[in-house]
Amino acid sequence: MAKFERRMYKAVCSDCGKETEVPFQPQEGRPVYCRDCYSKRKGTQ
Ligand SMILES: [Zn+2]
């Protein structure tokens, strides 16, 4: 493994329903958030 490529996975935001890309593989049953919603949640919690 000489090279590490940053892989982005397509996902649909669980909050606003927008299509987004995440650096990890989305798992069924786990919510995925777009950048907007993610930072929104991070800020409020
Ligand atoms: Zn969102």
Tell me the per-residue pLDDT of 22-36, one tens digit each, with 9 for 90 and over: 888 999 999 999 999
Residue 35 Cα to ligand 1 midpoint, Å, equals 7
**Phi, psi (rounded to 5 degrees) for 30:** -110, 130
pLDDT digit string, tens, across residues 4-13: 778 899 999 9
Assess contact for 25 and 40: CB atoms under 8 A.
no
Determine the distance separating the centroid of ligand 1 and the alpha carbon of 1, expressed in angstroms: 34
Instruction: Report which DSSP code applies to 37.
Output: H
> DSSP class of residue 19?
E
- The pLDDT value given to residue 19: 96
What separation in Å is there between the alpha carbon of 13 and the centre of ligand 1? Answer: 5
Instruction: For the beta carbon of residue 36, count every other beta carbon within 10 angstroms.
Output: 13
16 close to 34: Cβ distance less than 8 angstroms: yes
CA–centroid distance, 10 to ligand 1, in Å, is 13
* Residue 26 alpha carbon to ligand 1 centre in Å: 14
Beta-bridge mates of residue 11: 20
**pLDDT of res. 44:** 64
Whether the predicted pLDDT of 41 surpasses 90: no
Output the pTM of the full model. Answer: 0.70
Q: Map out the domains of the chain as residue ranges.
A: 9-44
